[in-house]
C-alpha cells in the first residue's frame, strides 16, 4: 500500500507530513518506556523482519497481490510506540534506497501504514485480550484479529486522505469499495503471518512479546514419569537476564532467508493499491520517483544481470540497512531512557543532602 508521488496533492501531503512528524516525536518519547532490557535488542530486528516479509507479495485475487503492512506485528512484539518507529524506519529505507513509496508521500505512508495500522491493531488486540483466555491461544487469536482489522482500516484511511487531496477526479464510493474489498483479502494474509510469528515467539520466549507479558509462560515438556512441577502464577515474569541472542539470531536468519531467497518466488502482480489505482484511474498523475536512479531501485542491484541474484542481494542489503538504521535509533532512545532514569535516581539523593 505504498502511496507514490502524485496521488495526493501538496497541501495534504504537507499536512500528513507534519502529522507523521508529530507521531514519530511522540513515539520517540513513548518508546523510552517500552525499550527495556528485553525489547531494546529486538526492536531493530523487528524493523528488519518487517522489511523482509514485505518483499513477499502473495496472490489474493486474479491479477492482484498483497504484502504485510507490519503495524500489528510490530506493536504486539515490541509495543505501539516502538512499532511506529519500526514502520517509519522501514518506509524511509524503502523510499530512499528502493524507490518504493513516494518521497513527497512519505508522510502519507507513515500516517497510513505506520500510525493507523498500529493504533487500530493494538487497540483491537488489547480489547480482545480482556475477553479471551489469558494464555498463549488467546494472545495468538487476538493477534490474528487485530492484524486482520488493521489492513482495511488502512485502506479506509487512504480513502479519507484521497478524499481530502486526491489529484484525480474519481468517485470516492468506487475508491472506497475497491480499496476495502481487496484489502480485506490482504488482511487475511497479514493476520496469518502475524499470528504465526507471534505464536512462534511466545512458544519459546513469551517475555519478549510486549503484548503477552504477564499473560503467558513458556511451554513446558513433561513426561508421564516425571512429577508435575508446582503451579506457576500466570503473571510470573521470566527473568530479564535471560539472553536474547538465540532469538535475535533466529529472527535475523529468517529475515535474510525471506529477503534473499524466498522473495524470488513472490507474486509479481500489482498490490492492492496499485491494482485499484490502475483500474479506477487514480494513477493518471503519478510522478516519477526522485530515487529512480538508486542502485537498488525496484529491489534490484544495478548492473547485476541475473534477476534472481540481483533481487536476493537487494533484499539482503535492505535487511542490513534497515537493521542498522533501526538499531541505531533504538540505541539512542534506550540511552536517553537510561539517562532519564539515572537523573531521577540522583534527584532524591541531591535533595537529601
Indicate the number of domains in the chain: 1
Note whether residue 235 is domain-resident: no
Residue indicated by cell numbers 484511474: 281
Note whether residue 353 is domain-resident: no
pLDDT at 132 over 80: yes
Q: How large is the average pLDDT for residues 87-101?
A: 97
**Coil, helix or strand for 7?**
coil
Residue indicated by cell numbers 506485528: 73
Which CATH number fits the domain that encloses residue 283?
A: 1.10.1760.20
**Domain encompassing residue 187:** 10-219+255-341
Q: What DSSP assignment string belongs to 294-337?
A: -TTGGG--TT---HHHHHHHHHHHHHHHHHHHHHHHHHHHHHHH
Note whether residue 289 is domain-resident: yes
pLDDT confidence tier of residue 232, bands split at 50, 70 and 90: very low
Distance between CA 233 and CA 312 in Å, rounded? 46
Note whether residue 247 is domain-resident: no
Q: How large is the average pLDDT for residues 200-209?
A: 92
pLDDT at 351 over 70: no
pLDDT in tens, 337-350: 666 665 655 655 55
pLDDT value at position 340? 63
Note whether residue 151 is domain-resident: yes
How many Cα atoms occupy the beta-carbon half-sphere of 146 within 13 Å? 33
pLDDT value at position 7? 95
Cβ-based neighbours of 106, under 8 Å, separated by 6 or more = 17, 20, 91, 92, 95
Task: Supply the Cα-derived Rg of the chain in whole angstroms.
Answer: 21
Note whether residue 75 is domain-resident: yes
pLDDT in tens, 110-127: 999 999 999 999 999 999
Note whether residue 70 is domain-resident: yes
Q: Which secondary-structure segment (H or E) carries 43?
A: helix 40-54
CB atoms inside a 10 Å sphere around CB 28? 17
Note whether residue 193 is domain-resident: yes
Enter the pTM of the model. 0.89
Cβ-based neighbours of 72, under 8 Å, separated by 6 or more = 117, 118, 121, 122, 125, 143, 146, 147, 150, 190, 194
Rounded to 5 degrees, φ, ψ at 168 are -125, 155
pLDDT value at position 38? 75
pLDDT value at position 266? 96
C-alpha separations of 138 from 51, 147, 244 in Å: 27, 14, 24
Q: Which secondary-structure segment (H or E) carries 142?
A: helix 136-165
pLDDT in tens, 158-199: 999 999 999 999 999 999 999 999 999 999 999 999 999 999
Amino acid at each position: 500500500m505504498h502511496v507514490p508521488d502524485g496521488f495526493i496533492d501538496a497541501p495534504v501531503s504537507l499536512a500528513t507530513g507534519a502529522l507523521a512528524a508529530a507521531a514519530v516525536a511522540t513515539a520517540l518519547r513513548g518508546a523510552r518506556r517500552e525499550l527495556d532490557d528485553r525489547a531494546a535488542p529486538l526492536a531493530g530486528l523487528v524493523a528488519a523482519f518487517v522489511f523482509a516479509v514485505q518483499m513477499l507479495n502473495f496472490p489474493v485475487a486474479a491479477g492482484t497481490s498483497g504484502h504485510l503492512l507490519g503495524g500489528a506485528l510490530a506493536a504486539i512484539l515490541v509495543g505501539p510506540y516502538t512499532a511506529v518507529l519500526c514502520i517509519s524506519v522501514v518506509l524511509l529505507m524503502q523510499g530512499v534506497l528502493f524507490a518504493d513509496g513516494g518521497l513527497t508521500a512519505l508522510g502519507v505512508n507513515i500516517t497510513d501504514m505506520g500510525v493507523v495500522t498500529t493504533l487500530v491493531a493494538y487497540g483491537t488486540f488489547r480489547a480482545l485480550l480482556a475477553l479471551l483466555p489469558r494464555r498463549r491461544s488467546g494472545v495468538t487469536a487476538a493477534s490474528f484479529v487485530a492484524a486482520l482489522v488493521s489492513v482495511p482500516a488502512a485502506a479506509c484511511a487512504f480513502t479519507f486522505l484521497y478524499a481530502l487531496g486526491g489529484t484525480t477526479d474519481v468517485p470516492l464510493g468506487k475508491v472506497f469499495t475497491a480499496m476495502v474489498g481487496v484489502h480485506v483479502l490482504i488482511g487475511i494474509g497479514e493476520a496469518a503471518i502475524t499470528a504465526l510469528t507471534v505464536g512462534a515467539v511466545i512458544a519459546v520466549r513469551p517475555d519478549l512479546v510486549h503484548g503477552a507479558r504477564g499473560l503467558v509462560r513458556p511451554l513446558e515438556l513433561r513426561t508421564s514419569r516425571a512429577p508435575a512441577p508446582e503451579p506457576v502464577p500466570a503473571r510470573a515474569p521470566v527473568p530479564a537476564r535471560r539472553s536474547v541472542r538465540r532469538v535475535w539470531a533466529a529472527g535475523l536468519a529468517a529475515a535474510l532467508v525471506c529477503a534473499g531467497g524466498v522473495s524470488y518466488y513472490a507474486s509479481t502482480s500489482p498490490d492492492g493499491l496499485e491494482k485499484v489505482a490502475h483500474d479506477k484511474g487514480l494513477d493518471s498523475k503519478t510522478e516519477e520517483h526522485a530515487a529512480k536512479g538508486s542502485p537498488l531501485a525496484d529491489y534490484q542491484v544495478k548492473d547485476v544481470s541475473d534477476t534472481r541474484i540481483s533481487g536476493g542481494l537487494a533484499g539482503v542489503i535492505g535487511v542490513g540497512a534497515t537493521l542498522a538504521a533501526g538499531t541505531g535509533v533504538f540505541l539512542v532512545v534506550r540511552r536517553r531512557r537510561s539517562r532519564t532514569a539515572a537523573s531521577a535516581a540522583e534527584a532524591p539523593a541531591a535533595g537529601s543532602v
